[in-house]
């Protein structure tokens, strides 16, 4: 069996996603693009083929900056009614294609772009595959004035809540939407669809990192045996 590093696996799935998109998406369409280290590798892999697309819609300022550096036409999501495909990573994915996302803090924009897409192609290495979602804390994006109240409500659901800080600093992490993120550990995610809705009902919550209502359609996952392609 091959022993690939995690970075090699991410590169392999990024290349596989490039091939999947070029094969299945007609020229002249608009592609949705996600956020994170795996999505970054995908952006770099698809960059030489950017003329295949009329443009792209991005899920974060970080991805937009990277896409623009490559010369992509980055479109405002308000100017498109539908995207044939959206390619993005995940922090966890269960056997039904429900995902947990938001490790990079881009969950709300990711959900908006995913909602526009006819097909969500999740790309990740095999370490992200789980039986039940919830080992990774559930990120919840919150309007700052509601932070304390939402924290109490999430604690009532059984969560252990941490206000996200910028890595290696004491500064509060601020999202592209000028909101903050509460990372909620210890939640029992036996029904991700219900929990996603329940958290979204708390006033002040912008969005949470459970992608269960709009889950993945295709998973490209890299492991020791190479790339596996799953359709949900």
Catalytic residues: 110
Q: Which of 105, 192, 204, 222 binds ligand 5RP (CB under 6 A)?
A: 105
Q: How far apart are CA 174 and CA 206, in angstroms?
A: 13
149 neighbors 117 (Cβ within 8 angstroms)? no
Q: Does 192 bind ligand 5RP (CB under 6 A)?
A: no
Of the candidates 133, 95, 126, 96, which has an alpha carbon nearest to the alpha carbon of residue 214?
96
Q: How far apart are CA 222 and CA 124, in angstroms?
A: 7
Q: How far apart are CA 222 and CA 2, in angstroms?
A: 11
Q: Which of 20, 88, 153, 183 binds ligand 5RP (CB under 6 A)?
A: 88
- Looking at beta carbons only, is 55 or 105 nearer to ligand 5RP? 105
Q: Which of 21, 106, 114, 161 binds ligand 5RP (CB under 6 A)?
A: 106
- Looking at beta carbons only, is 55 or 109 nearer to ligand 5RP? 109
- Looking at beta carbons only, is 27 or 184 nearer to ligand 5RP? 184
- Looking at beta carbons only, is 103 or 134 nearer to ligand 5RP? 103
- Looking at beta carbons only, is 6 or 82 nearer to ligand 5RP? 6
Q: Which of 107, 180, 216, 218 binds ligand 5RP (CB under 6 A)?
A: 107
Q: Per-residue DSSP letters for 5-60?
A: -HHHHHHHHHHHHHHHHHHHS-TTEEEEE--SHHHHHHHHHHGGGGGGEEEEEESS
For the chain, the farthest-separated pair of C-alpha atoms sits apart, in whole angstroms, at 52
Rounded least distance, CB 212 to ligand 5RP, Å? 14
Region of 43-51, 79-87, 101-109, 199-207 interacting with ligand 5RP (CB under 6 A): 101-109
Stretch 24-53: interaction string toward ligand 5RP, x if CB under 6 A: ----------xxxxx---------------
Question: What is the number of H-type helices and E-type strands within the chain?
Answer: 6, 13
162 neighbors 185 (Cβ within 8 angstroms)? yes
Rounded least distance, CB 27 to ligand 5RP, Å? 27
Q: How far apart are CA 150 and CA 58, in angstroms?
A: 28
Q: Does 89 bind ligand 5RP (CB under 6 A)?
A: yes
Q: What's the CA dihedral at 69, 71, 76, 82 to 10 degrees?
A: -120
Q: Does 11 bind ligand 5RP (CB under 6 A)?
A: no
39 neighbors 63 (Cβ within 8 angstroms)? yes
Q: Does 137 bind ligand 5RP (CB under 6 A)?
A: no
Q: Does 221 bind ligand 5RP (CB under 6 A)?
A: no
Where does this chain bind ligand 5RP (CB under 6 A)? 34-38, 88-91, 101-107, 110
């Amino acid at each position: 069996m091959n022993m690939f590093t995690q970075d090699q696996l991410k590169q392999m799935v990024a290349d596989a996603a490039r091939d999947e998109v070029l094969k299945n998406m007609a020229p002249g369409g608009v592609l949705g693009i996600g956020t994170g280290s795996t999505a970054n590798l995908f952006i770099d892999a698809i960059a030489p083929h950017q003329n295949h697309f009329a443009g792209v819609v991005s899920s974060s300022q970080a991805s937009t900056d990277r896409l623009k550096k490559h010369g992509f036409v980055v479109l405002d999501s308000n100017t498109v009614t539908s995207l044939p495909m959206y390619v993005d990573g995940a922090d966890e994915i269960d056997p039904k294609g429900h995902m947990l996302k938001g490790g990079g803090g881009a969950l709300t924009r990711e959900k908006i772009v995913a909602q526009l897409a006819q097909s969500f192609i999740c790309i990740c290495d095999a370490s992200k595959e789980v039986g039940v979602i919830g080992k990774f804390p559930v990120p919840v994006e919150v309007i700052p004035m509601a932070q304390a109240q939402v924290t109490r409500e999430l604690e009532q659901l059984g969560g252990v809540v941490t206000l996200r800080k910028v890595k290696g600093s004491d500064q509060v992490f601020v999202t592209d939407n000028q909101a903050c993120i509460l990372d909620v550990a210890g939640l029992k995610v036996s029904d991700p669809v219900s929990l996603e809705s329940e958290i979204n009902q708390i006033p002040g919550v912008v969005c949470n990192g459970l992608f269960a209502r709009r889950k993945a359609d295709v998973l490209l996952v890299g492991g020791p045996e190479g790339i596996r392609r799953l359709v949900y």
